[in-house]
Amino acid sequence: MPPIRRLTPADAQAFRDIRLEGLQRYPTSFGASYDDERMQTPDWFGARIADHAVFGADGRDGMLAGVAGLLVPTGAKLRHKGVLWGMYVRESARGTGLAAALVDAVLAYARGIVDEIKLEVAPENLAAMRLYRAAGFVEYAREPRALKIDGTYHDSVLMTLDFARGA
């Protein structure tokens, strides 16, 4: 498995490519939409990398094989809770342990910066739910009608990992 690294704005085009692939192939797995983000420039994606901690690993083809990000809110009352976002692993890298390694990289980075990590996951994405549970996340709520895609509502499962309670 290739090493996990923190992306830099120089990775903006590669990040844009993998992000758009995930949004297009799995629209119910992301709060963002393909149509909205495909209009954005590589500079916009570079700014997201600069503003968040985004981790990735290169595949054998030189393209990013997987990514995951951490958002730490800037507000004083909210910055104790990070958000794991944008988790996506290309099909060619699934089953290799890359997804778990990406989650581990985000959690290792977040320890000492935030007290807790939150995430949302589509309830039908059982592999992702298993991955997050194995990392120590627990479900704390289900948001009905969290997303509306082409007139159809989709729920989200809300999960959290409290570093004080341990993984």
Q: Degrees (nearest 5) of the Cα angle 142, 37, 104?
A: 55
CATH architecture assignment, domain 5-162 = 3-Layer(aba) Sandwich (3.40)
Q: What is the pLDDT of residues 82-137, one digit of tens each?
A: 999 999 999 999 999 999 999 999 999 999 899 999 999 999 999 999 999 999 99
pLDDT reported for residue 38: 97
Task: Kindly state the tokens that stand for 144.
Answer: 């009905």
SS3 16: helix
CA distance 78 to 34: 28
How large a percentage of the chain has pLDDT more than 70? 99
Confirm whether pTM is higher than 0.85. Answer: yes
CA distance 107 to 109: 5
Domains in the chain: boundaries: 5-162
